[in-house]
Amino acid sequence: MVTGAFGQLGFALDKVLSNNHDLIRTGLVIPNGQNGLLANIQNKVHLNEVITSVSPDIVINLAAMTNVDDCEKRPKLAREINIAGVQHLCDSFNGKIIHISTDYVFDGKNGPYSENDKVCPISVYGQTKLASEQLLMNDSTDHLIIRGNVLYDNISYTKASFLNWVVESLKNNQKIKVVKDQFNNPTWTRSMADIIELCINKDVKGIIHWGDSDYISRYDFALMIAEKYSLNTSLISPILTEELSQEADRPLQSGLITDKIVKILNVIPPSIDDCLTAIIEKDK
């Protein structure tokens, strides 16, 4: 059973997992043409009923308030979804919970980070995600926490796809400014979905980091996207994070070291170049 299954990662996970597993997708709303059950993780009673009726072997929790600036503006709601929601899951389900967390649990002063590095979130989003990790570690005997970096795919139905924003802006000849001082290892949603499946198959537990192989600035990532889609790179100009005056602080030198899971699963994180090639091929 997947919560928040109709978001960015949920669609990739559906493609990967539905081949070999009976997947029950749940969400706040069920988009037209999709199958699933309504489940709001904020609503403990209803969530309990859904879990009882589905009786899953594993719950994969993707549901979260993911807009970092909205979390800063509405911290109470962020806590209700990102922390209390996970508490409701733990209270309703005794089996294995796979939970997706984030590199925003770090302050971004000296990334990329490994699982043993000191956490120190600098935003409400990061604080709530860290609290949800701690809750799982205390309340669930069988859990896997996978921390991810900025996820991307070419999908127009999610609210915030960086890839779509870059491609659509440049196609429409619009100039864009992209931060040159935020570094991490951007990760294709399909790559994250593949790792989730491999972790299920190998029953990996505890806390792991996953991210693709290239550690770059968001500005350089935008340039790579433009070049790969044969779009006009001169429309992209660099900007500093502080010039954006966003509601929430961002970890600047962030990103995730993946050595632990690479060793456990014997996998190689893909390059951005290979992922963008695969995305373009899939969309033809």
Rounded CA-CA distance 73/142 in Å is 33
Q: Which of residues 40-99 bind ligand NAP (CB under 6 A)?
A: 40-42, 62-66, 81, 85
For residue 109, give every residue at least 6 positions away whose Cβ sits within 8 Å of its Cβ, in sequence order, or none.
251, 252, 253
Q: Which residue has the tokens 């999610």?
A: 158
Q: Which of residues 204-263 bind ligand NAP (CB under 6 A)?
A: none
Instruction: Give yes or no for residue 6 binding ligand NAP (CB under 6 A).
Output: yes
Q: What does R_g of the chain's alpha carbons equal in angstroms? A: 18
Q: Which of residues 100-159 bind ligand NAP (CB under 6 A)?
A: 100, 102, 129, 148-151, 158
CB of 6 to ligand NAP, least distance (A): 5
CB of 44 to ligand NAP, least distance (A): 11
* C-alpha to C-alpha distances, 80 to 99, 134, 216, 226, 233, nearest whole angstrom: 16, 15, 33, 38, 41
CB of 34 to ligand NAP, least distance (A): 11
Question: Which of 1, 2, 4, 128 is in the footprint of ligand NAP by CB under 6 A?
Answer: 4
CB of 7 to ligand NAP, least distance (A): 2
Peptide bond into 56 cis (omega under 30): no
The per-residue DSSP string of 196-218 comes to HHHHHHHT--EEEEE--S--EEH
The smaller minimum CB distance to ligand NAP, of residues 67 and 235, is found at: 67
Residue 24 tokens read as 């029950």
The smaller minimum CB distance to ligand NAP, of residues 29 and 137, is found at: 29
Binding site for ligand NAP (CB under 6 A): 3-4, 6-10, 27-29, 40-42, 62-66, 81, 85, 100, 102, 129, 148-151, 158
